Amino acid sequence: MEVAVLFFARVREDLDCDRLQLALAEDGQTVGKVRERLMLRGPTWERVLSETNLVAACNHEVVDDSHRLSAGDEIAFYPPVTGG
Amino acid sequence: MEVAVLFFARVREDLDCDRLQLALAEDGQTVGKVRERLMLRGPTWERVLSETNLVAACNHEVVDDSHRLSAGDEIAFYPPVTGG
Amino acid sequence: MDAVIDIAVLREDFDPGALQEALPPASGGAGAVATFTGYVRGQDDRGALNWMELEHYPGMTEASLRRIADEACARWGLLAVTIVHRTGRLFPGERIVWVGTAAMHRGEAFAACEFLMDYLKTRAPLWKRESGEWGETWVEARDSDSDRAGRWQAP
Amino acid sequence: MDAVIDIAVLREDFDPGALQEALPPASGGAGAVATFTGYVRGQDDRGALNWMELEHYPGMTEASLRRIADEACARWGLLAVTIVHRTGRLFPGERIVWVGTAAMHRGEAFAACEFLMDYLKTRAPLWKRESGEWGETWVEARDSDSDRAGRWQAP
């Protein structure tokens, strides 16, 4: 199945990537597994995606690593928010 | 010495009086003494001016009965406020 | 920097947008403006209201609002405070009062705005008389307002 | 009565007076309207600011603001909430955000307005980048904002 992964703000800048598509095995996919897979892309990816204050969202809701994925989900990783 | 005494809202209505001038002996005059003197005017005055939640002001500041008076002072008696 | 304090007690209506526009802007360092507008409610537990009439003590009302504003400025380091209060006869839906506070940060602006309303309601010499389905009556001071004002006193 | 909720995320400036005018008036029972406007500060401890740039997550920002507004309506029985947040490049003195709440009484309007700002600052996917005398940097999330938001959680 395919999912979209989006990056914002400093995370987007550090990774030099705002969006990518990932093809995943069908079974037992979670946000944490996507994060681990992306960390294999290189030292910058490993560093940025292992930051403890990184926020993950799935389909516009904040979720944790155990959140299970479905085909077509939109995942996002971003730093703590600073609007207002 | 002379002082002005003003009444507001329900107090003004109950007394049917919005303002009066009082001539006082020069010495040791206080808001409390003015209040007592006005209470002698009749049963309505006695009742209204002895209400425990009545507020007294002198020259636009809330004061208590012990506040000492000077010639020309403007005293006011009114019920708890309800603006805003 | 001294705070800019603007106090008005008037019979005419006022414009919340224009009042906010007149508060000092961010060029003076204000990152936060909190405002409160009180309106005449057309209905409550007792039924429909015809009108409300606000009596005040000319001179003392202004002096009292200024003292409250000074206290808020000293306490929260505000950049500006505006308080506008109407008097006379007001009908359902009409504006009664507007309070605006400008501060560097939102915590101060919010706290001061709420403090000003709580103190105004329990200290400024203004009285409401109402005419409604229940007849014509003076509004009684509410313990809940005294309680709210009491929260701001040092323990 | 269902609350009227209005959410907007936009690049253009907005008019606080017009936004307040659009909140349901006292005919719907609202006696109290509280508002907050956030402005770009031109100066802080680090020196003068050139500009600020707001990035957001289109779609999620709106959804997130709506969830926060729903939560405030449920918690304080509000009659109306409006939240407007700008994005893109903003200069000192410009408006960033407006929150307005309408309620029967002032306690609810004030609490909800402050809650909305605290939650918006810690939950809505918006990020500030600043250019100033110190260079160009992403704004770091502040513990004080998390602390303020934490106050609203049940003990």
pLDDT tens, residue by residue, C115-136: 999 999 999 999 999 999 999 9
Q: How many C-alpha atoms does D127 have within 13 Å on its Cβ side?
A: 22
Q: What percentage of chain A carries pLDDT values higher than 90?
A: 95
CB burial of D6-26 (b: ≥16 within 10 Å; e: otherwise) equals ebebeeeebebbebbeebbbb
Per-residue pLDDT band for C24 (boundaries 50, 70, 90) equals confident
- B4 Cβ under 8 Å from any chain C Cβ: no
In this prediction, residue C155 carries a pLDDT of 59
Q: Is there a contact between C104 and C141 (Cβ–Cβ < 8 Å)?
A: no
**Chain D, 12-71: which have a CB under 8 Å from a chain A CB?**
38, 54-57, 59-60, 63-64
At A5, the amino acid letter reads V
- D148 Cβ under 8 Å from any chain C Cβ: yes
Element (H, E) at D39: strand D32-39
- C125 Cβ under 8 Å from any chain B Cβ: yes
In this prediction, residue C124 carries a pLDDT of 98
Nearest to D29 among C35, C36, C43 (CB): C43
From residue A24, give the alpha-carbon distance in Å to each of A3, A13, A43, C85, D76: 8, 25, 22, 64, 44
In this prediction, residue D155 carries a pLDDT of 59
In this prediction, residue C26 carries a pLDDT of 56
| B81 interaction partners in chain C (CB closer than 8 Å) | 121-127, 141
In this prediction, residue D154 carries a pLDDT of 72
In this prediction, residue D27 carries a pLDDT of 59
At D141, the amino acid letter reads A
Q: Both tokens of residue D27?
A: 């005919």
Q: Do A84 and D56 touch (CB under 8 A)?
A: no
In this prediction, residue D24 carries a pLDDT of 73
Three-class SS of residue C16? helix
Determine the residue of chain D that is closest to C110 in CA distance.
D114
Instruction: Tell me what the mean pLDDT of segment B34-38 comes to.
Output: 97
| A82 interaction partners in chain D (CB closer than 8 Å) | 121, 126-128, 138-142
| C140 interaction partners in chain B (CB closer than 8 Å) | 80, 82
Nearest to B60 among C63, C117, C138 (CB): C63
Per-residue pLDDT band for C40 (boundaries 50, 70, 90) equals very high
Nearest to A81 among D63, D97, D125 (CB): D125
From residue C52, give the alpha-carbon distance in Å to each of A34, C36, C77, C121: 64, 19, 35, 16
Residue C97 has pLDDT above 90, yes or no: yes
In this prediction, residue D131 carries a pLDDT of 98
Residue C34 has pLDDT above 60, yes or no: yes
| A84 interaction partners in chain D (CB closer than 8 Å) | 38, 85, 96-97, 117, 120-121, 124, 126
**Chain C, 28-87: which have a CB under 8 Å from a chain D CB?**
29-43
**Looking at CA atoms only, how far is residue D100 from chain A in angstroms?**
14
DSSP secondary structure code for residue A18 in this structure: S
- A52 Cβ under 8 Å from any chain D Cβ: no
| C16 interaction partners in chain D (CB closer than 8 Å) | 16-17, 20
What is the overall mean pLDDT for chain A? 96
**Looking at CA atoms only, how far is residue D43 from chain A in angstroms?**
17
Q: Where are the alpha helices (DSSP H) in chain B?
A: 9-15, 31-39, 43-49
DSSP secondary structure code for residue B18 in this structure: S
Q: Which of B49, B77, B40, B84 is nearest to B62 (CA)?
A: B77
Q: What sign for the dihedral angle of Cα D35, D40, D43, D44?
A: positive
Residue A78 has pLDDT above 60, yes or no: yes
Instruction: Tell me what the mean pLDDT of segment A6-22 comes to.
Output: 98
**Looking at CA atoms only, how far is residue A17 from chain D in angstroms?**
14
Cβ neighbours for C105, distance < 8 A, ≥ 6 positions apart: C31, C32
Residue C91 has pLDDT above 70, yes or no: yes
Q: How many C-alpha atoms does B78 have within 13 Å on its Cβ side?
A: 32
Residue C114 has pLDDT above 80, yes or no: yes
In this prediction, residue C1 carries a pLDDT of 59
From residue C42, give the alpha-carbon distance in Å to each of B83, C47, C77, C91: 17, 9, 37, 8
What are the mean pLDDT values of chain D's consecutive 10-residue runs (155 residues total)? 91 96 76 96 91 98 98 96 98 96 96 98 98 96 90 80
Instruction: Tell me what the mean pLDDT of segment A34-57 comes to.
Output: 97
- B15 Cβ under 8 Å from any chain C Cβ: no
Residue A33 has pLDDT above 90, yes or no: yes
Long-range contacts of A22-28 (CB under 8 A, 24+ apart): A24/A69, A26/A1, A28/A68
Task: Note the ipTM here.
Answer: 0.94
Element (H, E) at D147: helix D143-150
Instruction: Tell me what the mean pLDDT of segment C37-52 comes to.
Output: 93
Determine the residue of chain D that is closest to C43 in CA distance.
D29
Per-residue pLDDT band for C45 (boundaries 50, 70, 90) equals confident
The alpha carbon of residue B60 and the mean position of all alpha carbons in its chain are separated, in whole angstroms, by 12
Q: Is there a contact between D106 and C36 (Cβ–Cβ < 8 Å)?
A: yes
Three-class SS of residue D96? strand
The CA distance from C40 to C54, in Å, is 11
**Range with the poorest average pLDDT among B36-40, C73-77, C89-93, D145-149:** D145-149
The CA distance from C81 to C8, in Å, is 11
